[in-house]
Structures are given as structure tokens and as C-alpha cells.
């Protein structure tokens, strides 16, 4: 099927198939290149919360906004806390979190909207970006799924909100699982594995995690999110999965590979 996140220029990758089929859609993730931030945040850091120079972060966001042709006053960002709270966004929230951390929507890791002219955004440096799209229903959403958000069912909860609150048929929902740390690069101890087994009892059988030679485990968050979405009723053929590993791809920031001192990429989705 091929890699779904295709590089458009030095600043971002897009979900090419979705955008080709639906020209009013913007969906993708930024890279670490093409910005003004200094080391260790070099160069297109999108995160205000990582002790980078705030003016540099704003300039980086302005640069991406120009490339996407979606001005900052239409962006919406949230304060991510590795949980599974989801909020529906309207035009009233436009601009929140776009130019300062202080105005970001508090304590929220999932956003969705059914209004156009809004760009939903979320920040990453190894965690899993989940992008949701129901073209027949003008619905877009995204979720930040680290291991804690994943085992708290943030992906299935977004599906649940669309099906039950928005009356969107589950067969109409598409999901793209974006660039994140791979199972080969993501070593964890017993605590995440125990949580994974509770929410996905067949996780070991499906090779979602496996023991390594150091007495710890390798955990594949991409595969886990795919499995949870399928179990929720999303069609397997409606799920796109990136093969890009943030820990090994030089275009990406990686919290693990850079010992916690690094910038953040930004996933985004919206209808023009």
C-alpha cells in the first residue's frame, strides 16, 4: 500500500491519498526542518512547552501556516496531558493555543470539529498521532496517543463520540496512524505491558509487544492503536499506517533518541 504520509517540502508530510481525493482537506504532520529554532530544538520546533524561545516557535508556526495556507488565527491547540479527554471544537475556539501556550485548551488530548476553516493541531516527539476523517459528514479530528492515552482508549473514544454523539456511521470513518516511535525502538518495563494486556488481552499473541534480551519489552504502539480501532468497529481497510519511525528518521524529533531534550512536530487536520 505504501507510506501514506508523503513529504511535500522540508516542513511537512501530508496524508496524500486523502488530500488527493478531497482537495479541501489539510491533513498531515510537520517535520523538524525549515524553521528558526536553535539547538537542541533545531529547527522547526512547534512546541511552546519545551523551553524553546517563544518568538522562534511563533515564527515556525507562521512558516507552516504559510505553507498550508491556513493562518494561525484559525488554528486550535490543546494542553496535552497523556489522557483521553476529547473536545468538540467550533469557530468560537479558533486561535486558542495558536500563538501562546497559556491560551491552549486545557487538559485535552483529542479534538474534533464539523466546521470548516479550522485547523486542529497536536504535538509529538514519539507518541502516536491519530488523524480521523469522515468525508461524507464533514468531520475531522485528531488524538495524541502515547502509551497512557492509548491504553485509556483515546482512539476508540473518538470513534465512540462520532458514532454516538454525531451519528456518523462507523463504516464512514477513516483513520491515519502517523509517524511515531517503532516497536523496535520503543523499550518499556512491565507497567505499560500490564496496562496493554488489560485493554487488549491478545496483545502478546498479535506481537504487539515481545520480551527483549534485557528483561524488558518492545512495544508497538502503532499496532496496538490499529487493533483497538478495529475492535471498536473501524474497517481495517479504512486505517492507514505510517512506517516512519521518529527515533530513526532524521526528519523527525524523538524524545527517546534525544534523551528528552528536543522539539516537537505538529499533526494537523482541517477543512479549508
For the chain, the domain total comes to 1
Do the domain assignments include residue 130? Answer: yes
Do the domain assignments include residue 217? Answer: no
Give the angle 14-73-179 at the CA atoms, nearest 5°: 25
Do the domain assignments include residue 189? Answer: no
Do the domain assignments include residue 73? Answer: yes
Do the domain assignments include residue 267? Answer: yes
Do the domain assignments include residue 190? Answer: no
Nearest to 253 by CA among 263, 243, 245: 263
Q: Copy the grid coordinates of residue 14.
A: 501530508
Nearest to 239 by CA among 118, 107, 101, 131: 131
Determine the structural domain holding residue 61 and report its residue range: 5-180+239-271
Q: What is the pLDDT along the chain (272 residues), one digit of tens a residue?
A: 689 999 999 999 999 999 999 999 999 999 999 999 999 999 999 999 999 999 999 999 999 999 999 999 999 999 999 999 999 999 999 999 999 999 999 999 999 999 999 999 999 999 999 999 999 999 999 999 999 999 999 999 999 999 999 999 999 999 999 999 999 999 999 999 999 999 999 999 999 999 999 999 999 999 999 999 999 999 999 999 999 999 999 999 999 999 999 999 999 999 99
Q: Copy the grid coordinates of residue 46.
A: 512547534
* CATH number for the domain harbouring residue 85: 3.60.140.10
Question: What 8-state DSSP symbol labels residue 93?
Answer: G
Predicted model pTM: 0.97
Amino acid at each position: 500500500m505504501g507510506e501514506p504520509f508523503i513529504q511535500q517540502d522540508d516542513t511537512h508530510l501530508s496524508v496524500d491519498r486523502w488530500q488527493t481525493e478531497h482537495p479541501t482537506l489539510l491533513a498531515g504532520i510537520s517535520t523538524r526542518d525549515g524553521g528558526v529554532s536553535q539547538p537542541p530544538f533545531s529547527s522547526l520546533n512547534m512546541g511552546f512547552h519545551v523551553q524553546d524561545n517563544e518568538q522562534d516557535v511563533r515564527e515556525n508556526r507562521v512558516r507552516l501556516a504559510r505553507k498550508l495556507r491556513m493562518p494561525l488565527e484559525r488554528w486550535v491547540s490543546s494542553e496535552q496531558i497523556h489522557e483521553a479527554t476529547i473536545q468538540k471544537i467550533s469557530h468560537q475556539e479558533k486561535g486558542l493555543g495558536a500563538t501562546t501556550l497559556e491560551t491552549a485548551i486545557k487538559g485535552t488530548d483529542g479534538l474534533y470539529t464539523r466546521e470548516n476553516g479550522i485547523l486542529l493541531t497536536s504535538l509529538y516527539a514519539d507518541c502516536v498521532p491519530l488523524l480521523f476523517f469522515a468525508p461524507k459528514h464533514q468531520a475531522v479530528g485528531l488524538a495524541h496517543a502515547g502509551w497512557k492515552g492509548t491504553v485509556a482508549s483515546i482512539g476508540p473514544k473518538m470513534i465512540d463520540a462520532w458514532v454516538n454523539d454525531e451519528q456518523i456511521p462507523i463504516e464512514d470513518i477513516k483513520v491515519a496512524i502517523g509517524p511515531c516511535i517503532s516497536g523496535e525502538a520503543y523499550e518499556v518495563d512491565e507497567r505499560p505491558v500490564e496496562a496493554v494486556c488489560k485493554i487488549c488481552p491478545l496483545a502478546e499473541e498479535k506481537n504487539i509487544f515481545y520480551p527483549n534480551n534485557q528483561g524488558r519489552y518492545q512495544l508497538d504502539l502503532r499496532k496496538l492503536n490499529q487493533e483497538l480501532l478495529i475492535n471498536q468497529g473501524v474497517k481495517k481497510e479504512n486505517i492507514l499506517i505510517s512506517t516512519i519511525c521518529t527515533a530513526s528518521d532524521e526528519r523527525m524529533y524523538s524524545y527517546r533518541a534525544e534523551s528528552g531534550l528536543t522539539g516537537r512536530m505538529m499533526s494537523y487536520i482541517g477543512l479549508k
